[in-house]
Chains A and B, each alone.
Chain A
């Protein structure tokens, strides 16, 4: 199928690539279908989470483990069930980045990771409440985290 995107114009995707957020993303509850578009430049570790229905809606995402090697959290049982996660290998974790005009100020949201089941393509943004991870992790200056 053809997909209109924010950054790449119209592209061709396979429908099997669509990931489905039953609850949407927080603040975007009604938008449930997205596609992950890898960066055409493979040296840059950021991808795009592009809405299927809203061409103008795309989030910059990345693997948090590239920046915080010991990032860890529990996935609640309820989410394990909902996404039908059976094995660690099923899971892909993304963090959403906020990229202001000054790219050096870029932050990652470590408190609201996205969990994707790579097999059935169901996904959910979860809220990590009982840990110290910040909403605004500055990837270029780890000494100055904004809480």
Chain B
């Protein structure tokens, strides 16, 4: 992993076309501005992790199909 120090208003360029700029630093938060081509996906990592977690919960549920059908038909 490459570690770089940047001050406010400084940026880094990745692969000539992605720019990440430090817009502001305050109270333990860094605000970043990211300029990248439209085909580059940018996500907050925790959202990805949450969806992984949710998929795992969905996969390992103890659901019995009959219970689900019964449940929906009692209404």
Contacts and interface: CB of A to CB of B under 8 A. Distances in A.
A binds B: yes
Interface of A: 7, 25-28, 39, 41, 43-46, 57-60, 76-78, 96-101, 103-104, 109, 111-112, 125, 127, 129, 135-136
Nearest to B75: A140
Contacts of A41: 69, 73
Contacts of B61: 60, 98-100
Interface residues of B, number: 27
A96 B57 CA distance: 10
Interface in B24-75: 38-39, 41, 43-44, 47-48, 50-59, 61-63, 65, 67-69, 71-73
A125 B51 contact: yes
B51 A103 contact: no
Interface of B: 38-39, 41, 43-44, 47-48, 50-59, 61-63, 65, 67-69, 71-73
11 contacts: A26-B48, A44-B68, A44-B72, A60-B68, A97-B58, A98-B58, A99-B68, A103-B71, A111-B50, A125-B55, A129-B44
